Structure 1
Amino acid sequence: MTISPDYARAVAARVRAYYQTAEDDALARIIVALGRGLDLPDWQARKALDLTTVLRVIDEGLARLDDAAPELITRAVAEAYQAGTGAAWGEVRAAGALPIGGRRASRAVDVLAEDTVRALSGMRPRIIRAVSDVYQQVTADTAGQVLTGGQSRREAAYTAVREYARQGVRPFVDSSGRRWETGAYAEMATRTTAGQAAIAGHTDQLEVLGQDLVIVSTSPESCDLCGPWEGKVLSISGRSRGKASDGVRIAGTIASARSAGLQHPNCTHTVGLYLPGRTKPHTTTRDPEAYKVRQQQRAKERGIRQSKRDVLIAEETLGKDSPAAKAARVKLRGQQASFKAWREDHGRKDLAYRTSLTAR
């Protein structure tokens, strides 16, 4: 039995739903608050007064999220580590190798959980700042358009809110400079951490049981970073070098492979026990088109979520019976039908939580 970095998909989806709902709720509150009283002459002054209330309500929701997330993440990481140790025992026994050690815990796994909880908890003030900035910018842009006579206040509010909603609340910037939406980052961080914990439990236990070699699985959806490592034999500790006793080249260590891109966030590769002369080599199944299809699905999912936001924005600023709201609903239904047909054509799962604005 192998252990995959993708082990925690279900748990990560649940964490994403929590944070994604918080982000969607924040944007919805901005839209509703800005749409209220658009026809009143003192609209801009009223919006300035409303901001404190909007931020307080959003912060209360994020506080509840911060209270719930640590237990969920810590439990997921612990369960992943235990699953990894169990998989190692199963592999060694199935191979008929004699176990020579016992279980051991890893402080590094606790650190993984703590780092993830800290990163996600740290998004709360960032989200509040981002919401405040968007709210104030939309108010100013709307007032400015009205003063120049370019648009009515409702039209200006619709244009401004739609523009900023398309950017989303993206409070986290990773080391490569990529800006993440809240839910997507929470899912990625949880999946990656739990996956690393599962692999740590697996390799820790293999090493204790007297095994030092693993082989990297194949994955049709691999990317250019991890694809070159498919079927490679790696050393857990770094003590095994050169060639194994069956002449197979040891490509490096797990640590060096990770540094080169293997098991990056959202990677689907696994590692399994390698016994020289007994483990069959893997034949690569890499399919560049499959990776492109996965990226296409995510782009389509983001598009549907944005269209749902467009419907809400048009309804709150221009009215449910406005031409823009009707057009937004027609566009959304068309996208949903097209996406359903595309998934069926490509054999892709319907990950409904990725397109829901009310997932929980």
Structure 2
Amino acid sequence: MPVSPALAEDLAAAVAMLYEDAELALVGLLRDALAQGIDSPRWAELKLRALGDLREAVETVTTALQTDGNGAVAEALATAYGRGRQAAVAELGALDIGRELHARRMLPGAPAVDRLAASYAADTRPLYQRITRAVLDTFRGVTARAAGTQILTGITRRAAAQRALDEFARRGVTGFVDSRGHAWELAAYAEMAVRSVTARAAIDGHIDAMAEVGQGLVIVSDAPLECPLCAPWEGEVLALSGPAGPRTVRTEHAIQPSGVRSLFRPPQTVAVHIAGSLPEARAAGLFHPNCRHSLSLYLPGVTTRPPHHATPGTTYADTQRQRAIERHIRRWKRAEAAAMDDAARAKARAKVREWQAAAREHVAAHEHIVRKPAREQIGRAH
């Protein structure tokens, strides 16, 4: 069977839930710390004394998140890698080499899995320092501004604190800034990182298994609503290793007539156009997070180019609009969680319903877009 990032999507979703729960817990900690004694004349003084308690509570959440997250990712990677290998076994099942591969067992500590786990841990380590800093900076800023705000502006301390909480909920814990200057929410970045690394594990398991039995060519599927990064590789044959760049080679036909091998009858060969190497395609963006493409074994002279998936009336930009709507829904759900009173809670809930209506309208207007409620959720409580 073909292998694709979708093979590990459920694993990524389970790990990402840890980060969503943590982000909700952080919003709750900040809300409660600011709300306690907010009507007291000594509120600012009390908040300065409470800073240490808040730091301790936040660090408890981040330490647990780091431990649980890294452990869950390591387990997910081993599972994804194993699924990739099993996909190769299923794909090669009709051939003798499929039975040979089935007889082999993957070691639980496969080097590929260990390398990916170490890479994920290194990539996400800076997140945990940013979490504590983001919460404490917001707390200090609110305390400093809100202490005298009623005298200067007529805005109540509670209203000023709610504004800051709304901004924190809108922004989320921005754990990562990409090369375009876009600040990612903690949970969104974690989900992207986990999707990327588990997808890589599944694909690595597949191609490692094929390489073990001497298979060196794969073909990329033609997926609907492809992004510009993937479009150049659709339907193309890739080499698992070797030089980058396109080339045409002659190789043995995958199915040789009986008795063809002899001094007088050389093996039948076919010309195969190779668009490049798999590492080259991945470096160029193929199999990015949320990629819909898959890889399957290419048998020279047997495998045909996949059919093109037409999506009239729907574009890649339309799928990105759906992602934006999902982000707005999550933003206002966080704002609801951060609400200090019923009025703020009702306002946030109304915004959630407004964006959910936008999601329904967008899906109804585009035949090839499917709503994914899980991507609109935050934490287990929702």
Instruction: Establish whether TM, by shorter chain, passes 0.5.
Output: yes
Q: 2: CA distance between counterparts of 1:101 and 1:219?
A: 31
Judge conservation of contact 2:82–2:205 (CA < 8 Å) in 1: yes
Q: CA deviation at 1:55?
A: 2.2
Q: Give the length in aligned residue pairs.
A: 354
Identity %: 39
SS at match of 1:204: helix
Counterpart of 2:57 in structure 1 is 57
For the 8 Å contact 2:5–2:203, the answer to whether it is kept is yes
- Aligned: 1:207 with 2:231: no
Give the distance between the partners of 2:178 and 2:160, measured in 1 at CA: 33
Aligned to 1:115: 119
1:255 alignment partner AA: P
Q: Which position in structure 2 is the counterpart of 1:329?
A: 349
What is the SS of the residue equivalent to 1:171? strand
Aligned to 2:31: 31
2:301 partner SS: coil
Equivalent in the alignment of 1:242: 248
Rate the CA distance shift 1:266–1:350 in 2: closer, same or farther, 3 A: closer
The gaps in structure 1 that reach 5 residues or longer are none
Asked if 1:282 is matched to 2:317, the reply is: no
Whether contact under 8 Å (2:3, 2:84) holds in the other structure is yes
C-alpha separation between the residues in 2 aligned to 1:298 and 1:326?
24
> For structure 2, which runs of at least 5 residues remain unmatched after alignment?
252-269
Aligned with 1:119: secondary structure? helix
Helix, strand or coil at the partner of 2:51: helix
Q: Deviations over 1:167-204 (max 9, x none)?
A: 21112234554322111122111111111111111111
CA apart distance, 1:280 = 1.3
TM-score by length of 1: 0.88
Work out the CA distance in 1 between the residues paired with 2:195 and 2:71.
15
Q: Superposition pairs for residues 247-326 of structure 1, below 5 Å?
A: 247-285=271-309, 287=311, 289-313=314-338, 315-316=339-340, 319-320=341-342, 322=343, 324-326=344-346
Deviation of 1:210 (Å) = 1.6
Alignment match, 2:262: none
Contact 1:219 1:269 in 2 (8 A): yes
Q: Which secondary structure does the structure 1 equivalent of 2:289 belong to? A: coil
Contact kept, 8 Å, 2:217 with 2:239, in 1: the verdict is yes
User: Secondary structure at the residue paired with 1:294?
Assistant: helix
Distance change >3 Å, CA 144–CA 83, structure 1 → 2? same
Name the SS of the counterpart of 1:161 in structure 2. helix
Structure 2: distance between partners of 1:194 and 1:244: 35
Label 1:309 to 1:228 Cα distance change in 2 as closer, same or farther (>3 A): same
8 Å Cα contact 1:37-1:43 kept in structure 2 = yes
Compared CA separation, residues 53 and 260, structure 1 to 2 (3 A): same
Q: Match of 1:242, SS?
A: strand
Residue 305 of structure 1, CA deviation: 2.0
209-218 or 279-288, which deviates more:
279-288
- 2:36 partner letter: R
Which position in structure 1 is the counterpart of 2:187? Answer: 183
Larger radius of gyration: 2
Q: Report which stretch shifted further, 196-205 or 261-270.
A: 261-270
Is the contact between residue 359 and residue 371 of structure 2 (CA under 8 Å) also seen in structure 1? no
Distance 1:45 1:128 in 2: 21
CA offset at residue 80 of structure 1? 1.4
SS at match of 2:235: coil
Q: TM-score, normalised by structure 2?
A: 0.83
- Does the 8 A contact of 2:15 with 2:69 survive in 1? yes
Q: Aligned-residue CA RMSD in angstroms?
A: 2.7
